[in-house]
Amino acid sequence: MSERREGQTKLGIVFDLDGTLIESTIDFVLMRDRVFRYLIDIGLGSLLERSDTIAKNMDRVRPKIRAMNLDLKAVETRVEAICVDVEMMSVEYTKEVLGAGDALRTLRYMGHPLALLTRGSRHYATQALRASHLTGLLDAIICRDDHDISEAKPHPEAMRRAAAALDLRPEQCFLIGDHLMDLECALSAGSTFVAVLSGRNGRKGWEDLGVERIIPSIAQLPGYLEEMT
């Protein structure tokens, strides 16, 4: 774990991956379409909402899966396989968000323990970090398939696990992300959320949600934290 300079407050920094640390190569529309096609084929089409994430749709259909006496574990395993297949299609072309590596190294020098909390699979996250030359810069990595999928981000337990991996409580951590899912996860666990504009959401969208901590990208995070202390 990174060393903390004497006298500095110990603040854990937990990062989202796609759109925050890296420029994602995942075709999320294709992923959703393939998952939906499978769920429709097994009789769950009437419950699906295209405007929602795969995670929220899975939360919505689980009671119906049980009511239909389908094998929930088998369904979740098939959905996971579809997601991993799409994730890995172009992972070798993954690049860091400009300045991400330098920012992580600076944050480590400042003494902040660093973790990754991603909805991506561990296979994908490992390969994406390697391709973007960010391997070895994080103290802990928590992925969607490390635990029960129902407790993956945005479930608060995911953030609690990330904080615990840094020997901290959630309220001692910032979660940095570009997606509403990251905001939900941080708030539900009692962590502070910082939005980055390097993903798909713009400043106005975050402001409309009441988010006050907004930075252009992770490259500005070290300076932002220094201004706070």
CB 163 within 8 A of CB 172: yes
In this prediction the pTM is: 0.91
Q: Are 113 and 88 in contact (CB under 8 A)?
A: no
Cα separation of 68 and 46, whole Å? 14
Amino acid sitting at position 111: G
Whole-number Cα distances in Å, 87 to 18, 25, 93, 119: 11, 8, 12, 11
Which SS3 state, helix, strand or coil, does residue 114 take?
Answer: strand
Separation of alpha carbons 150 and 162, rounded Å: 16
Beta partners for 195? 177, 214
> What is the residue-level pLDDT of the chain in tens, covering all 229 positions?
444 444 455 899 999 999 999 999 999 999 999 999 999 999 999 999 999 999 999 999 999 999 999 999 999 999 999 999 999 999 999 999 999 999 999 999 999 999 999 999 999 999 999 999 999 999 999 999 999 998 999 999 999 999 999 999 999 999 999 999 999 999 999 999 999 999 989 999 999 999 999 999 999 999 999 988 6
Residues 5-30 as b/e (b if ≥16 CB within 10 A, e otherwise) read eeeeeebbbbbbbbbbbbbbbbeeee
Using DSSP, how many helices (H) and how many strands (E) does the chain show?
9, 8
DSSP letter at 24?
-
Task: Report d(CA 203, CA 19) in Å as an integer.
Answer: 14
Supply the pLDDT for residue 10. Answer: 81
- Whole-number pLDDT of residue 147: 94
Q: Which residues contact 228 (CB under 8 A, 6 or more apart)?
A: none
**Would you state the structure tokens that stand for residue 77, as one six-digit string?**
């395993």
- CA–CA separation, 179 and 97 (whole Å): 15
Q: Judge whether 44 and 19 are in contact, CB under 8 Å.
A: no
Please report, for the chain, the start and end positions of each structural domain, with discontinuous segments joined by +.
Answer: 12-25+92-228, 28-87
Give the closest residue to 1 by CA, choosing from 137, 127, 126.
137
Helix ranges restricted to H, the chain: 28-41, 54-67, 72-87, 100-109, 122-131, 156-165, 180-189, 203-208, 221-228
At residue 6, the pLDDT reads: 46
Q: Class for domain 12-25+92-228, per CATH?
A: alpha beta
